[in-house]
Chains A and B, each alone.
Chain A
Amino acid sequence: MSASKRIVKELTEVTSNPPAGTKVQLVDESDVHVWEVLLDGPEQSVYAGGHFKLLLTLPKDYPFKPPVLNFQTKIYHPNVSNDDKGSMCLGMLRSDEWKPPNKLMAVINMARNLLIEPNPDDAVETAIADQYKSNRQEFEKTARDWTKKFAGRK
């Protein structure tokens, strides 16, 4: 059984009808397993004005295993690891919560929603999560600074 039919179908859906503020394309036309997602910081969020590049990697046994999501643009966010990987790993992206019928469209939407509303209770960056909870102003300032610095239009 090959998953390519499913992946191609998903890709067609996402490219022809992308979620608001996103653009999806293959990094390499010959490999349907690596997607590049360009995500505009949602207007109502502290990331507004930023343009974030995300890498969505589908494992060999996709859709039985969840895709891997990495922020290639640096971002100040409790749910994105602050390292060279920029990984986001929560909710449906976790292997024990992922179900094969889950779609990549939903993954992209989840990532977008997390920019609007972070989930500090399930954070990878606990320090940022603490700040988000206790000192929202400071958090927002840093997040805006980083957005300007790292995610501005080039």
Chain B
Amino acid sequence: MDSDDEMNSVVSSEDDFMAGPDSEDSMGEGSDLDFEDDEPDIGFDTHEKDVKPAKHAYEVDFKVFGPDEIQSHQDRQIEEVSNILGQPPEASAILLRHTRWNKERLIEQYMDKRDEVLEGAGLGDDVAGSPRIAKVPGFTCDICCEEGPDMETFAMKCEHRFCVDCYKQYLCGKIKEEGEAARIKCPGDGCNRIVDSKSLDLLVTTDLKERYQELLTRTYVDDRENLKWCPAPNCIYAVECPVKKRDLSKIVPTVHCSCKHSFCFGCSLPDHQPAPCALVKKWLKKCEDDSETANWISANTKECPKCHSTIEKNGGCNHMTCRKCRHEFCWMCMGVWSEHGTSWYNCNRFEEKSGSDARDAQAKSRQSLERYLHYYNRYANHEQSAKLDKDIYLKSEKKMTQLQSSSGMSWIEVQFLDSASQALQQCRQTLKWTYAFAYYLARNNLTEIFEDNQKDLEMAVENLSEMFEKPVDQLQSLKREIMDKTTYCTKRRVILLDDTAENLKQGNWEFNVALT
């Protein structure tokens, strides 16, 4: 079962971290899209070897990181750069942030044109020496206009000196209200020097420092292409994945956070296998669009063959008189009424030319709508079921406890219900997106195979779903069957996703829209 694999990779990522210095390789360097782990010097990390390369075409490598790990990664890189460039850690941190954590580029540029790099990062010429608070005789603060021999003042290397109170309030406003951290500039007029963390430490209170650190970590993850925050509410984890933006037409990078949320690394939306991000975006926009609702309404109406006004027949005979253009036609054959002769109320003139032409025109204008509705209804149906997943899950939990007490089964023995419920959720999520995917597919042999796979999975899911609704006293005797059906569902899902992903990777699918 593939959920085992997910467990595996998450666990191994944690182990990876415990291992120490080696683990920085993964986050430290922008690793390219290679799915094999072929780093030669994995000194003391034996677990790394146990991670199999992605087994299925639809799976991608990823790692989940907690806040401490992200912090230590940052620190380690800062230290490394600090050692190479001979800059203090605070300055190195600013430099790294300035180059969006591209270590190689930073070092290269620094060696090439040191002054320019320093200036660009807001570090000015001389960055050595530590800033401190001082009292300066005859000083007037340019912000509050206060003066006095006892006034404490502060300036960074740029010598834009202000009283400590003003400096503090300035930083406080930036951090607390504007959520700035990595790019706070010196308060001096026109000065681009960035306030470094050491200066900040000197000036702000502990709670602000924490917020500052939080914001710094945030920008660290935001700055890196291979890192993303898990979008689940209140989730503290970030996920690393080597899939780049340009790969998104070839792969759907679903990742699974330690908080159990599965999402797409490409667009951060909830798992949308097997549809690629571009199609998902198009589809959601289409569904959101009000015009589709209007279209649906027009599915229940016909158009006047002459002036194309939309008409809903609310009873009565087939002799229609358009209220707008007074055109008289037959509701059944859409032909001109005058041609009907005396066979009123009974249209048997299907072969008449005027009627068939009118019908053709009508059918054409309605066809694309019908097609959309076909896919949308099925998509929405699975979405609705997916929304009920939570209820199902809660119900299954209740059932499990009931079953436990009524049958004397152990907790472990009733776990099959939990697995079944999870498989159902996952499969419905997949099915839902297969309909969005299919909507954009051109008709060919591959599409037939896809629809067969879709049908098989759907049947398996509905079968399991039915089992699942049975009363508690029957569940025990159905255990074997439910387990089998669960396995079968999961298998069908893997087959469908594998096939779709493989063809996507090869560029075999033909879409009726551009995949960009």
Binding site for B on A (CB under 8 A): 1-3, 5-6, 9, 61, 63-65, 95-96, 99-102
Contact A61 B173 (CB under 8 A): yes
What separation, in Å, do the CA atoms of A101 and B190 have in the docked complex? 10
- Rounded to whole Å, the gap between the CB of B144 and the closest CB of chain A is 5
Binding site for A on B (CB under 8 A): 142-146, 162, 165-166, 169-170, 173, 178, 185, 187-191
Contact A64 B188 (CB under 8 A): no
What separation, in Å, do the CA atoms of A71 and B144 have in the docked complex? 27
What residue in chain A is nearest B167 (Cβ atoms)? A100
Q: A1-B166, A6-B144, A9-B145 are in contact. Are A102 and B189 (CB under 8 A)?
A: yes
What separation, in Å, do the CA atoms of A1 and B168 have in the docked complex? 11
Contact A65 B173 (CB under 8 A): yes
Contact B144 A5 (CB under 8 A): yes
Among A2, A65, A95, A100, point to the contact of B143 (Cβ < 8 A).
A100
- Rounded to whole Å, the gap between the CB of B143 and the closest CB of chain A is 4
Among B146, B170, B178, point to the contact of A100 (Cβ < 8 A).
B170
What residue in chain B is nearest A100 (Cβ atoms)? B143
What residue in chain A is nearest B190 (Cβ atoms)? A99
**Given the complex, which residues of A lie within 8 Å of B143, measured CB to CB?**
6, 63-64, 100-101
**Given the complex, which residues of A lie within 8 Å of B178, measured CB to CB?**
95-96
A/B interface sample: 13 pairs, CB < 8 A: A1-B144, A2-B144, A3-B144, A61-B173, A64-B143, A95-B178, A96-B178, A99-B191, A100-B162, A100-B170, A101-B143, A101-B162, A101-B189
Q: A64-B169, A100-B170 are in contact. Are A5 and B146 (CB under 8 A)?
A: yes
What separation, in Å, do the CA atoms of A53 and B478 have in the docked complex? 83
Contact B188 A101 (CB under 8 A): yes
What residue in chain A is nearest B169 (Cβ atoms)? A64
Among A1, A61, A96, A102, point to the contact of B165 (Cβ < 8 A).
A1
**Given the complex, which residues of B lie within 8 Å of A101, measured CB to CB?**
142-143, 162, 187-189
Count, A-B residue pairs, CB within 8 A: 42
Q: Which 6 A-B pairs have the closest CB atoms?
A: A6-B145, A101-B142, A100-B143, A101-B189, A64-B173, A1-B165
Main secondary structure of the interface of B (DSSP, over half): loop
Contact B166 A99 (CB under 8 A): no
What separation, in Å, do the CA atoms of A27 and B30 have in the docked complex? 59
**Given the complex, which residues of B lie within 8 Å of A3, measured CB to CB?**
144
Contact B145 A100 (CB under 8 A): no
What separation, in Å, do the CA atoms of A9 and B166 have in the docked complex? 17
A1-B144, A2-B144 given; 4 more Cβ-contact pairs under 8 Å? A63-B143, A99-B190, A101-B162, A101-B188
What separation, in Å, do the CA atoms of A65 and B169 have in the docked complex? 11
**Given the complex, which residues of A lie within 8 Å of B165, measured CB to CB?**
1
What separation, in Å, do the CA atoms of A100 and B169 have in the docked complex? 10
What residue in chain B is nearest A8 (Cβ atoms)? B145
What separation, in Å, do the CA atoms of A93 and B169 have in the docked complex? 19
What separation, in Å, do the CA atoms of A101 and B165 have in the docked complex? 14
Q: A6-B143, A95-B178, A101-B142 are in contact. Are A1 and B188 (CB under 8 A)?
A: no
What separation, in Å, do the CA atoms of A64 and B185 have in the docked complex? 13
- Rounded to whole Å, the gap between the CB of A66 and the closest CB of chain B is 11
- Rounded to whole Å, the gap between the CB of B183 and the closest CB of chain A is 9
What residue in chain A is nearest B163 (Cβ atoms)? A1
**Given the complex, which residues of A lie within 8 Å of B170, measured CB to CB?**
64, 100
**Given the complex, which residues of A lie within 8 Å of B144, measured CB to CB?**
1-3, 5-6
Contact B145 A99 (CB under 8 A): no
Contact B187 A99 (CB under 8 A): yes
Contact B145 A5 (CB under 8 A): yes
What separation, in Å, do the CA atoms of A119 and B142 have in the docked complex? 29
Among A1, A99, A102, point to the contact of B169 (Cβ < 8 A).
A1
**Given the complex, which residues of A lie within 8 Å of B187, measured CB to CB?**
99-101
What separation, in Å, do the CA atoms of A5 and B147 have in the docked complex? 11
Contact A99 B189 (CB under 8 A): yes
**Given the complex, which residues of B lie within 8 Å of A63, measured CB to CB?**
143
**Given the complex, which residues of A lie within 8 Å of B169, measured CB to CB?**
1, 61, 64
**Given the complex, which residues of A lie within 8 Å of B146, measured CB to CB?**
1, 5
- Rounded to whole Å, the gap between the CB of A1 and the closest CB of chain B is 5
**Given the complex, which residues of B lie within 8 Å of A9, measured CB to CB?**
145
What separation, in Å, do the CA atoms of A9 and B144 have in the docked complex? 10
What separation, in Å, do the CA atoms of A9 and B145 have in the docked complex? 8
Of A61, A100, A102, the most chain B CB neighbours within 10 A belong to: A100
What separation, in Å, do the CA atoms of A64 and B143 have in the docked complex? 8
What separation, in Å, do the CA atoms of A63 and B189 have in the docked complex? 12
**Given the complex, which residues of A lie within 8 Å of B188, measured CB to CB?**
99, 101
**Given the complex, which residues of B lie within 8 Å of A6, measured CB to CB?**
143-145
What separation, in Å, do the CA atoms of A120 and B169 have in the docked complex? 35
Q: A3-B144, A65-B173 are in contact. Are A100 and B190 (CB under 8 A)?
A: no
Of B143, B165, B178, the most chain A CB neighbours within 10 A belong to: B143
**Given the complex, which residues of A lie within 8 Å of B142, measured CB to CB?**
101
**Given the complex, which residues of A lie within 8 Å of B173, measured CB to CB?**
61, 64-65
What separation, in Å, do the CA atoms of A61 and B189 have in the docked complex? 18
